[in-house]
Chains A and B, each alone.
Chain A
């Protein structure tokens, strides 16, 4: 039990501190970094999905006036570490996936770099590739662990026996598509290698964590941390794709080292992002539910099949939410992977929970239908008293309250009957639960200094557009017991103390905890009247930590879907979410986060789909004209609400993470609403109009 900070700045609807600079266009992003006389880098990508480079002719590129250098596996520097094969750029003649970078051209302008890249002639010995995921892939294997370090499989009791004897069962297979993160700001790195400087390598990189970025670069190039500085004040979205560096960061560094003293800029194109910066694996989810006649679950099981790349494993933890969401005596989760000749999958907003709240939450709706029980009520009846996975009590679990408040706000009790028609539209309503674990990273340090009458806090944190610039000062102000205006927090630079990645919705929890430790130390050491220059650091590992409770944020999402009776076009006039996510630090940035997550969930439901061309081994629709994300016209009234939740166990702010929970469950709620409108149960995302056509009058 932790005594929570007295909220004064916390909870206030303060404006974004970085808002004005962004609106005025003065906030510089990585590619815009003002540097002297930069050169530009453009990658050449493999056009075969598997094979070897048999020849690479750079002479035409080098002959172009303005081309400074062409790097290939034949002339690029040998890296200190090639253990991570995604990072080991230009080290061999092997091509492991289509779109892999086989050369980079460095030139005086970005146009010349592109021209040079076009002029590089590469010949390949192509080998037969395998890039098609299927549930019966012969090479499915069981990974050692799933992201980041969960058990791959879990089992309790006897699911098969429960399925055989239960009053009602659901046994269905669901699938989610391949998704690409597609932040608005395309991945970019500006790099300077100046061997004569005290810090020879400077990277201005669009990243979710300057320190993790630096650690990877040091490892790959054999540099000491003191030799590298990473700077990133602003990020135009990442959604996990900037959570770890990808090939371009190492390519930019390599290019910079090839032209010492001259800065280089590498900005990926949107099309290149579809093979070089990670994506969410497609998932196939076989669900089993068994229930007694009152709707109490007797068994819940999910068997997941998904893919990874042959050169680097990423095992999405899709089955993890099934382990803790509902009470059931018999339970099973498994994960099997196919390692394919495909680009490397990675984190994308709520890895695990996002796809993993699709199959189970549609299956719950199917169960409710078979039992004739309201789907809100069915979920309430299966509320576990303790975490079914660990047996621990919940730090706070307000799923039932979220469902009830959401139902009230939405008018669930008075919802129209199945198949209801208004004019040319069939109307359906649906619900699903949301969940996301409350995580705190083990490493982060904040430094607080009293400077010119203000408190300056420094920590190498990242603001992806999420609000860190704004909420960290709120936390520091309350921790120091001063006005928010007396606090400045500086982030986004490895010159500041180490900070964890902005991922797993853990940033505010982790960095905020470090700030509160530093503030406490500061007051202990210097009292309330510090001298100019007084300075102290605090580590997150000194913050009170509770291991006795299972900590999660919960939520419920309610959707109204309209399906056109003539064309099957789908519209979502209403999408409401209610969340129990601890204390909300800033309602303005929190609402954006929750609505953004819900929008991305809606996008997953209706639109997003990286169409994998199994013949070519690449995403066919690799730009934003063809890879559709939801637009304003698709949706009407979207609302995010939250409970006034008091959780004394998570941290002294009382806050849980809110960056990812919004995307979980949304797609299931949409599918459930489409079923109520049309009678069609769509188990494979996205829900497109062709899938409902046959059900229309």
Chain B
């Protein structure tokens, strides 16, 4: 196929991604991560091709076995001859900005497979268990032709929900020995789960944890799902015992993911589309927040005004209110445009 676009332009790269060029795939994800000015143009060219991939998030506390489960799920998907993309997020140091990304160690069997693409990503400044460019990376993989995308989050605690906005199905992985049933009843990470996995099922306490979790999800009368807008969802979260390190229970996890997908599909032709559109709206809102933040503070004048107001005895709330009112009236505070 001949191209009308220069090879190194945004459109040229997008075209190469659509043609299955892995070098272009990997470079576009870097552009997304680095905030490269060419990325939005490339993404625009890919947008019409999105929507084919099923996006599955794998989240849970550190050491629960997320990477090992991702590896086993990917191998199982490969046995079904599916194209698989993996995004593995690890934390960045808030002090140095550096990161050690080690999830590939547990995915060695997949490295030589040309139908699998694995990308490690540092969380950089995000604190919700994902990376800012996570959704972008999934979009590029989707356009490239991946049929399944597995997103492994940072090891999370009780309040990291960003994975919900990036995935069609969220799998929460727990393991025995990390707290009693009351931990499982707290608000938080369990509420993002579409599927619960008790990993390391050969360890003492696994059955008990699975029982506690089953109780917790069954007695939750209303599942208020901010992203899909569903209240009182008909989906009962399955609790699956697995031992990913021994390749046990993986097919059952996959079955639970497939059932969740079937449930979304059964909501009618627009069920899945509605859920995805609402997530996309939430992403747009986040991007607007980021761009506002970047543009509003892209000036020294505003900082000086804040300092002066503080010196004059104003409170944080008073200053913020005045500044936002002025911004909405069109005050520029010497701000420069985004590109400068």
Q: Are chains A and B native binding partners rather than an unrelated pairing?
A: no
B residues near A (Cβ < 8 Å) are none
